[in-house]
């Protein structure tokens, strides 16, 4: 099921009229799953000279459960286009599985293995990757069993994992260089614990010359704001504080606002955050400034509401050779289409 964005409704209707149009998620339901799209056949243009690409895999949970061919097509396309598009790495935004089950993890392993020795990939868990049947009641998680730390430890991109859990991959960092710039991919668990933030701050502080990209499953909401339990509580659906994992750990979780104040805004080398998780139209973005007025771009991207578990949509980030411009485009290798709506194709300027 697809939705018109709240932004569109705000532009075309009064507040009173909006209330009658909205679904419980805050979006008007449409029978056409691509009513808000601008679909164009063919692949995105090849990157400009000296540019490089980061490929983003949003929530694959439905693929792992029911549509593994979609997942396989995504990673196959990335591997086949590594050279032509100068793909530096792949970022998985969590909810690798739907029910944290062995068959689903097997499907995920087969898909991600197509990238081995071709493109480095960095993963985070989502709420559906925790606990029995993906119920997210505690910190038991299938990610590190399916993708053990040993698989990554000898790679040139591997930086390390959370120092209190050396055999777990739920919190990790990775180092790569592209376009003449050094980057650090910081990958954090769903609703990161306070001590994980302690570790993350130490990692970032030790790599001040690297541009940091944060990936975590829940950060930006669909209304272009951060998750903020203290301010909004249950008015924002699916906040980490509203899961059993919070209740079982004395609320030792962090949402988007806590990640911003407790981590991102404390440093001057974060350039971007990426998350999945959120339904509605599954899209959002905002820019916030650090205390020294440095812009940090924050993006939500999630396609699991599309047909066939997500229709194979990827997000491609093309970092241009000027060191500032990033051209963003969403592409589906299974449909061989790009979505050129303003929410799916746009550019940002990095600090």
The domain locations on the chain are 1-30, 37-349
Residues 117-164: pLDDT tens digits?
999 999 999 999 999 999 999 999 999 999 999 999 999 999 999 999
Does position 9 have pLDDT exceeding 70, yes or no?
Answer: no
Confidence at residue 267, expressed as pLDDT on a 0 to 100 scale: 98
37-349: in CATH 2.40.50.140: no
Mean pLDDT score, 31-56: 94
- Is pTM beyond 0.75 here? yes
The 3-class secondary structure across the chain, one letter per residue, is CEEECHHHHHHHCCHHHHHHHCCCCCCEEECCCCCCCCEEECCCCCCCCCCEEEEEECCCHHHHHCCHHHHHHHHHHHHHCCCCCCEEEEEECCCCCCCCCHHHHHHHHHHHHCCCCCCCEEECCCHHHECHHHCCCCCCECHHHHCCCHHHHCCCCEEEECCCCCCCCCCEEEEEEECCEEEEEEECCCCCCHHHHHHHHHHHHCCCCCEEEEECCCCECCCCCECCHHHHHHHCCCCHHHCHHHHCCCCCCCCHHHHHHHCHHHCCCEEEEEECCCCCCCEEEEEEECCCCCEEEEEEECCCCCHHHCCCCEEEEEECCCCCEEEEEEEECCCCEEECCCCCEEEEECC
Q: Which class for 293: exposed (0-12), middle (13-18), buried (19 or more C-beta within 10 A)? A: exposed
Residues 303-338: pLDDT tens digits?
999 999 999 999 999 999 999 999 999 999 999 999
Integer CA distances (angstroms), 27 to 40, 59, 324, in order:
24, 20, 33
Confidence at residue 23, expressed as pLDDT on a 0 to 100 scale: 37
């Amino acid at each position: 099921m697809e939705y018109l964005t709240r932004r569109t409704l705000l532009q075309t209707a009064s507040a009173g009229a909006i209330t009658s149009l909205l679904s419980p998620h805050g979006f008007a339901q449409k029978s056409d799953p691509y009513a808000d799209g601008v679909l164009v056949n063919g692949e995105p243009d090849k990157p400009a000279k000296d540019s490089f690409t980061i490929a983003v895999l949003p929530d694959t949970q439905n693929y792992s459960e029911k549509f593994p061919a979609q997942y396989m097509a995504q990673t196959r396309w990335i591997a086949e286009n590594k050279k032509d598009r100068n793909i530096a790495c792949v970022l998985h935004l969590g909810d690798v599985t739907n029910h944290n089950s062995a068959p689903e993890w097997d499907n995920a392993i087969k898909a991600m293995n197509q990238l081995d020795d071709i493109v480095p990939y960095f993963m985070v868990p989502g709420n559906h990757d925790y606990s029995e049947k993906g119920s997210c009641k505690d910190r038991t998680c299938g990610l590190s069993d399916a993708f053990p730390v040993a698989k990554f430890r000898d790679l040139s991109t591997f930086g390390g994992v959370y120092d209190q859990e050396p055999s777990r991959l739920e919190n990790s960092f990775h180092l790569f260089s592209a376009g003449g710039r050094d980057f650090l991919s910081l990958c954090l668990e769903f609703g990161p614990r306070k001590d994980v933030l302690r570790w993350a701050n130490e990692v970032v502080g030790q790599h001040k010359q690297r541009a940091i990209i944060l990936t975590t499953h829940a950060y930006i909401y669909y209304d272009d704001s951060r998750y903020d339990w203290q301010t909004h509580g249950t008015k924002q659906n699916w906040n980490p504080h509203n899961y059993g994992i919070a209740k079982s750990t004395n609320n030792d979780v962090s949402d988007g606002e806590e990640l911003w104040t407790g981590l991102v805004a404390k440093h001057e080398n974060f350039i971007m955050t990426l998350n999945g998780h959120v339904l509605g139209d599954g899209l959002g973005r905002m820019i916030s400034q650090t205390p020294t007025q440095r812009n940090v771009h924050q993006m939500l991207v999630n396609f699991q509401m599309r047909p066939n578990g997500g229709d194979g949509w990827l997000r491609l980030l093309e970092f241009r050779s000027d060191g500032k411009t990033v051209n963003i485009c969403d592409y589906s290798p299974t449909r061989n289409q790009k979505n050129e709506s303003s929410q799916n194709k746009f550019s940002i300027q990095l600090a």
